[in-house]
Amino acid sequence: MKRAFTILGLALLAIAAQSCRKYSADEGDAPDQPIAFYHSVHAGQNNIPCMYCHYTADRSVDAGIPAVQVCVGCHVPGSSAPGAVASQASLAFPTAQRDTFWNRNANLLVDYWKRGAAVPWVRIHKIPEHAKFPHFMHVNAGLQCQTCHGPVQEMKKVYQFSSLRMGWCIECHRGQTPLSAAEEASVRERSSFIRRVRELRAAGHDVAGVAATRPNQRASTDCVACHY
């Protein structure tokens, strides 16, 4: 009985997911955010590194969305958020002379901060609960954020660039997705999967079969690597 419910649940989920997917992976579908925060201004024009804000991407499953405190470090003079650079703080703080759209949005930020409230950002990327995606494994292997997320530094509103479908994951794990020369070299050196195959070969095991079917494989394609 319980199993029947689970299967029914999965089927309904699949239908729900199908109908949602039609609306993703397109710039026009980027949701409105509570503050018009532009990646093009921050990561683009001002060259703020992605990991200044998404600072858990290399040590956690989630890349993380920065707390108000991180924003305030640059936007409210005299605040002392970790890593805040004083010169940038004065640059970034909106003044009366500035474009009113920017001012209005920067003031929204100050309001959240004064109220001690978190900004209710709308989440854009989400794979289903039955699958897992560890950011740190990918970032530490040397993949660039843009390989999966596209040219975020040019986006005003972030949109979903890749399908995030299972086939997309598998294609890269099998080594079929082309990477830049620098990324490919880094993955060859740092992937624990490639290291394991190399160690097995060195220990005298026959890995010719694996190597022959997928000579460029970069990561595991076992179901349990990605599914709970």
Site for ligand HEC in 108-167 (CB under 6 A): 109, 121, 123-128, 131-135, 137-139, 141, 143, 145, 147-149, 152-153, 158, 164-166
Q: How far is the CB of 76 from ligand HEC (least distance, A)?
A: 10
User: Nearer to ligand HEC by C-beta: 216 or 220?
Assistant: 220
Residue nearest to ligand HEC (CB): 71
Which two three-digit tokens encode residue 31?
């949701």
Site for ligand HEC in 11-40 (CB under 6 A): 14, 17, 33, 35-39
Interface pattern 199-228 for ligand HEC (x via CB under 6 A): -------------------xxxx-x-xxx-
The CA distance from 204 to 199, in Å, is 9
Closest of 134, 41, 130 to residue 88, by C-alpha: 41
Stretch that binds ligand HEC, among 1-9, 187-195, 203-211 (CB under 6 A): 187-195
CA angle at 119 for the pair 121 and 80, rounded to the nearest 5°: 130
User: Nearer to ligand HEC by C-beta: 7 or 17?
Assistant: 17
Place of tokens 């001690």: 116
Of 29, 59, 102, 211, the residue at the interface with ligand HEC (CB under 6 A) is 102
The CA distance from 17 to 126, in Å, is 11
Closest of 166, 162, 157, 144 to residue 221, by C-alpha: 166
Closest of 96, 50, 88 to residue 72, by C-alpha: 88
Q: How far is the CB of 220 from ligand HEC (least distance, A)?
A: 4
The CA distance from 165 to 170, in Å, is 9
Interface pattern 166-185 for ligand HEC (x via CB under 6 A): x-xxx-xx---x--------
Closest of 124, 130, 127, 174 to residue 150, by C-alpha: 124
Q: Is 76 in the site for ligand HEC (CB under 6 A)?
A: no
Stretch that binds ligand HEC, among 1-9, 42-50, 198-206, 207-215 (CB under 6 A): 42-50
| Region label for 31, one of left (φ > 0), alpha (ψ between -120 and 50) or beta (otherwise) | beta
User: Nearer to ligand HEC by C-beta: 49 or 205?
Assistant: 49
